[in-house]
Structure 1
Amino acid sequence: MAGPTPRPASDAQSSPEERTFSFVVVSNRLPVDRVETADGGSWNRSPGGLVTALEPIMAINDGAWVGWPGIADHEYEPFDSEGSWLVPVGLSEREVADYYEGFSNDTLWPLYHDVIAQPGYHRIWWEAYAAVNQRFAEAAVRVAEHGATVWVQDYQLQLVPAMIRKLRPDIVIGFFNHIPFPAYGIYSQLPWRRQILEGLLGADVIGFQRAADAGNFARAVRRLFGYSTKGTVVQVPETASDGSQRLRPVIARAFPISIETSAYSDLAKRPDVQERAKQIRDELGNPTIVMLGVDRLDYTKGIAHRMKAFGELLEDGRLRSEDAVLVQVASPSRERVETYRALRDEIELMVGRINGDFGAIGHPGISYLHHSYPREEMVAMFLAADVMLVTALRDGMNLVAKEYVASRIDNGGVLILSEFAGASDELKSALLINPHDIDGVKDAIMTAIGMPARERANRMRALRRRVIEHDVDRWSADFLAVLARSRPGTSSSVTLPGEDE
């Protein structure tokens, strides 16, 4: 993905500040990363399901994407990138600390994940969050044409929908929450609980990962505002332009996100990736059983819980390190936040203790990898793993579970999946577990290891059918179709791949 590209002469009639678009995406980060080079630097496409899902829609609709470029205290002009107009929103180092690391990730993240860690409630963080959300909203409306569709993404920008509606009531607004939405008893702890709901209710359609999340949101609205909710519709009172009072319907429902299934299946078919999977098993000492966990190093993922279960199986003698290995990929995450630094210390101490107590020469028990890998290497790991462990304590979806399933073109392997991950609503043929029940996790591991080949294949076929039929393209198409129908009388529409343009 090249850097800022000059506009062709045919487009010279509009300056960057004057260009407007029918479809605008707003997210905390732009879909590119800055790479500095000797000749000044360039922008590379970011990996991730959201970018993959929206890139073709952006190209068809001549769309714009508003977001932070990922570098503090730097201002960049809008620029073209592979068919999309990217609009950087600058953040200072202080705003990154207060809005992003503070309110987004040390207040909202733990609160929305059932207070697995204690949230911090600081007014200065809230003030930064509100100010940055206002800047994102203003950037979005500047590039939105009349009647445009604007799709706001995730918990960092929950105030943006109402801000956009106040500035530009002609815009059709969607919002998607990629993380859980907590039960009212937890949500009510937030000092700014009303302001967040008011921000979200500015949207025409609010999407959640699970029906339970949408239900939690509707209950919070009823408790705090007394608005009528029926099914997936919230009736929001508002004042019309003529001064009359009316009810504006807001749709709040589940749209479970997915992955680019074909990309993982295609990689799994490549001979070099299959050969790499064999090499991985060789490098691990050719154990009988390879178990795998792949996570960001985050306290919501239940990494310590799966390690405790594995360590107890070794201690009980039900497994031996010569026969079984747990490969744990823990990608670095938010390492400037103290909670995450403490978690890394805890996990690495646990790895050392288990390997010291139960490992053997050439067979350490746990192979711990604290870095990220390219997609090809991850697919090779998925093919090498007999058992995939997803033990999240709370997760909006958990796309790793779907990536593992998409990669198992051989219908092999067993998925052990936490019932507290959104993916459990769809992947019902997995072995579902409560990660807090260590004995239950241990039993699930032994069941997976001893599962007959025919049962493994039947379960994986059912899982793959679901992931193939409900991929990321279907997710975006479903959401945008509902959004297009949400405001009768508007001209806004978004052309989807495969439709007549």
Structure 2
Amino acid sequence: MRITLRLVLAIVTTVSVIVVAFTLLQVRQERQRQMGDLERRTALLAESLGETVEPLVGQGHSARLQRIVEKFGNRERLAGVAVYDTKGLPLAVTQTLVAHVATAPKSVIEAIAADRETGDVITIGDKLMYVYVLPLRPEAQIAGALTLFHDANYIQHRLRQIWQTNFLRLLVQALLISLTALFVIRWTLIGSIARMAEWIKRLRKGEVVDASSLSRKDLLNPLATEVTHLAKSLSAAKAAAEEIKLRQGGEALWTPRSLKEHLRSKLQGRPIFLISNREPYIHVKRGKQIDCLVPASGLVTALEPVLAACEGTWIAHGSGDADSLVVDDADRLRVPPAEPKYTLRRVWLTKAEEKGYYYGFANEGLWPLCHIAHTRPVFRADDWQYYRDVNDKFAQVTLTELEGVEEPCVLIQDYHFALLPRLIKERRPDARVGIFWHIPWPNPESFGICPWQRELLHGMLGADLIGFHIQFHCNNFLETVDRVLESRIEWEHFAVRRGNSTTYVKPFPISIAFLDDSAVPGEGTVEPRSKDALLMEFGVRAHYLAVGVDRLDYTKGLLERLRGIERFLEKYPKFQGEFTFVEVGAPSRTHIKQYQDLIAAIEAESDRINWRFQNGNWKPILLLKRHHTSKEIRLFYKAADVCLVTSLHDGMNLVAKEFVAAREDEQGVLILSRFTGASRELCDALIVNPYDIEEIADAIYAALNMAKGEQAVRMRRMRDIVRERNVYRWAADLITDLVQVRVEESQASIAGIRKPR
């Protein structure tokens, strides 16, 4: 396909160059011809009209002059006539031109001064005009000038017609030549290349394929023989490397390649089905073009390697305005666009469903309920019904995708689909079903305010495995189940037994893809920039730079953070004029009133603190309220002295890990809320209570005064943790446990311990 595209591109480019070159020559000749004709006609008319006008100039016959110019000013393509005195002041002007040439154009002044006829093309108003100036000498002495204004737009129109005509010829020629070339290629090469590609694909998957499977007459048969020998050598080397790694105790870091090999052995060729609200690729309209965007999402970053490793299917809400234009008849699409590795199955929701299920029950109900950020959850019966309907819609789509797959592996993501595990399990009891809850799970008393807590727990317990970020959230979940539902909790195994089913509850701390080379995928290498250079883009100077990177969400503790910075500047005034905090804030869920009010409050608090302290070209707070690319964010990570992560409650918070991963210089200090999952792993951060304004202020002071050596020791230990416990290890642990849970239960069933489902 690439060779074909190159050939077609070469043909189109060659034909285009030829057509453009000849068109340029044709346009140039046509312009010269048209302009020459216009100049001749204008000169003749000016000479004829000048004999009538010349005796009247300087004689006070303004009315008569005006009648003459009005009479001649309405001829075809003649936009108007004007008579000027020697100073460039108008003696008579065609009425339609008065507003534009009340003052003589520059070319008229120059012609009068030089006492010679001139012609020039200028723009008057929104029109292209050819201006011809004829000096008037009633008594052998120059007394003014007659100026004719010819509309020259018809010339440009004629030239555009030439371009359009030649462009159409170009398309026809390129199409005919390309089709001919493609036919020849298809007849002679494509068939052989397709057979060769399929043969190599089977070889790459580990299948035993001999070169004799290709036709002896195939053009690529000699190459196939050599590739066979190469594949055998690589397979042997790979097996030896895997054996060495196993003997070393598996100390190597997890990578996309090792994850792929691991999942291949665990899943034994079976695909995995992943379900989330957010899709990994969004198609949007940009005029007549369709762009493919990757949403800024930690969930996407964490889960795409899993799908790419095992040729799975990602089922998600199709939210882009062009999503429906690029899928097939079954609403499927192969992604990534550049190198398809798995299938994206889109589910369509109405505006009412999205409002009720996503913005309503999920984000106005479950989100504040689970985060305990003192924002009151809102529960509406209509939203609950939409939540149930959307979960049922996703269940129907998933069951359709599972048809024909034995013992499928289904991994459901987040609080949007609490009912989905049960809906799938009831129809496909042979499926391995897991759900990962990306946000915290509150204590039983807090969760108990939800009117539909029993239904939510019953739905989740349809899963074989439920994952949270930390053990504390697992404990809260088990205690909630123990209080709400009739069940048996096996605390030694962290499992819930209800009837003939068992659900295991385990922690899986999510992480990031640690990049030692500082390369951001798809955005090139991130070159460090000084904090002075970054701040000067916003007209700010400061010696110390602190950064916060958050969605503008009430769980992130942004107002408390700003007040902590204010208290820091009050308590340690020597940093006034020296310290600037940059909040890289992405607007989020702006359809919801609480978020609109929060953004307004953050802006008001930033303005108040800045008004109180700012001086000259320094201010303490810089609020960047827009979506930033990963590359832009890493620039701030690399330049900052301090990174503030002060969430009031968070499942993990990957910003903390992103900051650590970005600091290859092993400098900088992380101030981290003790209510984040990340605080359990990154113990070398300065751990704070985000509600304690004094503690935040003192932590900032301690961070700015920390010795470089201590910074390096702390950062090195945190980087080792993030590198070792990366997202690939998280995915491997989660899928492995999901597969093993079902294997253990199958063995128990065979032994007669439990009845089969």
Fold shared per TM-score above 0.5: yes
> Highest CA radius of gyration, 1 or 2?
2
Out of 196, 214, 234, the position equivalent to 2:495 is 234
Paired positions, count: 467
Q: Which residue among 40, 43, 46 is the counterpart of 2:292?
A: 43
Residues 195-250 of structure 1: CA deviation (Å, up to 9, x unaligned): 11111111111000111100000001111124222234323223xxxxxxx3x221
Judging by fraction of residues, say which structure has more helix. 2
Give the deviation of 1:295 after TM superposition: 0.5
Matched residues in 2 for 1:342 and 1:231: separation? 45
Quote the offset at 1:272 in angstroms. Answer: 5.5
Give the AA of the match of 2:303: L
Q: Does 1:187 align with 2:436?
A: no
Q: What's the offset of the Cα at 1:351? A: 0.6
Matches within 5 A, 1:242-391: 246=500, 248-262=501-515, 265-266=518-519, 273-275=527-529, 279-283=533-537, 285-391=540-646
SS at match of 1:262: coil
TM-score, scaled relative to structure 1: 0.88
Residues 373 and 554 of structure 2 are in contact (CA less than 8 Å); yes or no, is this contact kept in structure 1?
no
Residue 128 of structure 1 is matched in structure 2 by: 386
Q: What whole-Å deviation, never above 9, does each CA across 1:326-373 have from its counterpart, x for those lacking one?
A: 111111001110000000111111111111010011101101110121
Give matches, 1:363-442, under 5 Å: 363-442=618-697
Which SS does the other structure have where 1:28 is aligned? coil
Partner of 1:107: 365
Contact 2:532 2:542 in 1 (8 A): no
> Could you tell me which residue of structure 2 aligns to residue 140 of structure 1?
398
Relative to structure 2, which stretch is displaced further, 26-35 or 64-73?
A: 64-73
Deviations 1:175-197 (A, max 9, x none): 10000011101001111001111
* Structure 1 residues 319 and 225: CA distance shift in structure 2, 3 A: farther
CA contact 1:183–1:216 (8 Å) conserved in 2: yes
Q: Which has the higher contact order (CA 8 A, sep 6+)?
A: 1
| Contact residue 177 and residue 206 of structure 1 kept, 8 A | yes
Deviation of the 1:251 alpha carbon: 1.0
Aligned-pair CA distance for 1:282: 4.5
Normalised TM-score (structure 2): 0.59
Question: Is the counterpart of residue 457 in structure 1 residue 457 in structure 2?
Answer: no
**Are the counterparts in 2 of residues 301 and 394 from structure 1 also a CA contact under 8 Å?**
yes
Who is 2:423 aligned against?
163
Amino acid at match of 2:283: R
Q: After superposition, what is the alpha-carbon deviation per residue over 1:294-315, rounded to whole angstroms, capped at 9, x for unaligned? A: 1100000011111101112223
What are the Cα deviations for residues 427-478 of structure 1, in whole angstroms up to 9, with x where unaligned? Answer: 0010000011111111111111111111111111111011000011110111
Q: Which runs of 5+ in 1 are unaligned?
A: 1-7, 11-19, 239-245, 492-501
8 Å CA contact 2:486, 2:498 repeated in 1: no
Pick one of 57, 64, 88 that aligns with 2:306: 57
- Give the residue type in structure 2 aligned to 1:453: K
Alpha-carbon shift at residue 69 of structure 1 (Å) = 1.3
Alpha-carbon distance change, 267 to 45 in structure 1, aligned in 2, over 3 angstroms: closer
Q: 1:402, 1:223 → 2: CA distance?
A: 35
Instruction: Tell me how far apart the structure 2 counterparts of residues 276 and 448 of structure 1 sit (CA, whole Å).
Output: 19
CA distance in structure 2 between the aligned counterparts of 1:44 and 1:232, rounded to whole angstroms: 42
| C-alpha spacing 1:25/1:392, structure 2 compared with 1 (3 Å) | same
Name the residue aligned to 2:318. 69
Alpha-carbon distance in structure 2 between the residues aligned to 1:294 and 1:279: 19
Secondary structure class of the residue paired with 1:236: strand
| Cα distance change of structure 1 residues 435 and 57 upon mapping to structure 2, 3 Å threshold | closer
Q: Give the share of equivalent positions with the same residue, in percent.
A: 36
Contact 2:509 2:730 in 1 (8 A): yes
Native 8 Å contact 2:395 2:424 kept in 1? yes
Selected match of 2:272 from 23, 46, 49: 23
The residue identity in structure 2 corresponding to 1:249 is T
Instruction: Indicate conservation of the 8 Å contact 2:519/2:526, yes or no.
Output: no
Contact 1:206 1:252 in 2 (8 A): yes
The worse-fitting range, judged by mean Cα deviation, of 115-124 and 393-402 is 115-124
Aligned residue identity for 1:368? L
Question: Which residue is 2:466 aligned to?
Answer: 206
**Structure-2 residue corresponding to 1:79:** 333
Unaligned 5+ runs, structure 2: 1-190, 196-268, 747-757
Per the TM alignment, residue 30 of structure 1 is displaced from its structure 2 partner at its CA by: 1.5
What is the alpha-carbon distance in structure 2 between the residues aligned to residue 383 and residue 101 of structure 1?
35
1:415 to 1:272, Cα distance in 2 relative to 1, 3 A: closer
Shift of residue 42, structure 1, vs aligned partner: 4.3
Shift of 1:489: 6.8
CA shift for structure 1 position 288: 2.0
Distance 1:394 1:323, change over 3 A: same
Asked if structure 2 preserves the Cα contact closer than 8 Å seen for 1:153 and 1:176, the reply is yes
Q: Structure 1: how far apart are the matches of 2:373 and 2:468?
A: 19
Moved more, 278-287 or 160-169: 278-287
Distance 1:40 1:285 in 2: 39
Q: Distance in 2 between matches of 1:72 and 1:375?
A: 24
CA distance in 2, matches of 1:38, 1:72: 12
Contact 1:330 1:368 in 2 (8 A): yes
Give me the CA root mean square deviation.
2.4
**Quick one: distance in 1 between partners of 2:645 and 2:371?**
16
Letter in 2 for 1:236: R
